[in-house]
Structure 1
Amino acid sequence: MSEGKILKREPAFQGKVIDVAVETVELPDGSQVDLEMVRHPGGAAAVALDDQDRVCLLRQYRHASGGWLWELPAGRIDPGETPFATAQRELLEEAGLQAEDWTELGVMHSSPGIFTEVIHLWFARGLTSVPVEHEHGEVIEVHWMPLVQALDWCNDGNITDSKTLAGLYRAGALIRNRLEILSEDPGC
């Protein structure tokens, strides 16, 4: 089967961040369907871990979710910006941190049935504190907690944000894999 293609696009709304339209799409099986699509430039998030294995989490007010959420430092990719540069910028602006060591943790699709948004996840170590530069309209508290506790919060429902769940689980798996490799190396 071939990939789907857009046959017709009827714009409904153009905002600062999103573009909403009804798209008539030919699916890979040849059938046609009208889909309401929200186009988004994508984003990036950083799992920042300090030398005491504490992760930086933001407690952020989100009107759309009806209150406060626990999240990783993250944000929208600006025009001309790479996902990596976005992760670096958002870690700086939201958490007041710079990192020396970065490892890519892959991507995630936030809601692929309707949104085109792809979020790039990064693991950051070698942290240095710098002044926080929250944007207008951001209500954020910066918190540090043991990664083990954050993973427990993922499992018990205290953390519900999808990018944060994916980022923390992937960072936890990366650390476990590195520890297994070290424990198997007879030279360690």
Structure 2
Amino acid sequence: MQVGSRRASEWTIHGERVVDDTRRAALSIADVELPTGVRFEQYVLRVPTAAMVIVVDDAERVLMMWRHRFILDRWVWELPGGYIDSDEDPAVCAAREVEEETGWRPRTLEPLVTFQPMVGTVDQTNLVYLGRGADHIGTAPDVNEAERVEWIPLDDIERRMRLGEIVGAGSVAGLLAILLLRAQGKL
């Protein structure tokens, strides 16, 4: 059902005020109204677009980083990636992040999946690329990024997710997409 140019279930935004604005995130509070007339304030976090890469080798292993995430206070496996600069090509960013964080250079990159991690609160596009093969470029991984870098067998990914070793939205979304491709015989 349409009401004017709006759908009957669409929320109305009456305004948004910025609480904090930094280079990497803007926090605001939006004044919103539900279709039923209920009005409330909703926190909104606007974050730059990020790119990450799933690098898969010929042995069907994926390049991952073991790192501590202070917000969760946990050690987890993650894919390499980072924020895209405003004038940067997303694929160039993705390849650069893999090199800086792992010491490996992906041989190829192709778009795999795009997603928003928390559509009710966070506005951030995440671009996940598939890299097929990689060359070790001899540089040590950035100690600020990861304690260690390893090639994890794809056959072990589901188990590590169940154990809570892989929890980040980007890593989970990308790895599930890879597992689906493999199940379809397209990897």
Which band: TM-score by shorter chain?
0.7 to 0.9
TM-score, length of structure 2 as denominator length: 0.83
Give structure 1 stretches of 5+ with no counterpart: 181-188
CA distance in 2, matches of 1:63, 1:168: 23
Q: Which amino acid aligns with 2:81?
A: A
CA distance in 2, matches of 1:16, 1:140: 26
Deviation at 1:162, TM superposition (A): 1.7
Contact preservation (8 Å) 2:63, 2:79: yes
CA distance in 1, matches of 2:120, 2:131: 30
Q: Which amino acid aligns with 2:55?
A: A
Written as runs of structure 1 = structure 2, the 5 A alignment for 1:24-103 is 24-25=31-32, 29=35, 31=37, 33-103=40-110
Q: Which amino acid aligns with 1:92?
A: E
Give structure 2 stretches of 5+ with no counterpart: none
Q: Which amino acid aligns with 1:19?
A: A
CA distance in 1, matches of 2:97, 2:162: 26
Deviation at 1:156, TM superposition (A): 3.9
Deviation at 1:18, TM superposition (A): 0.6
Which residue does the alignment assign to 1:12?
19
CA distance in 2, matches of 1:87, 1:6: 34
Matched, 1:169 2:168: no
Deviation at 1:22, TM superposition (A): 0.9
Which residue does the alignment assign to 2:142?
134
CA distance in 1, matches of 2:92, 2:32: 33
Q: Which amino acid aligns with 1:128?
A: D
Deviation at 1:23, TM superposition (A): 1.7
Could you say if the C-alpha distance between residues 23 and 146 of structure 1 is closer, same or farther in structure 2, counting changes exceeding 3 Å? same
Greater share of helix: 1
Moved over 6 A (4+): none
CA root-mean-square deviation = 2.3
Deviation at 1:21, TM superposition (A): 0.8
- Aligned residues: percent identity? 25
Deviation at 1:57, TM superposition (A): 1.0
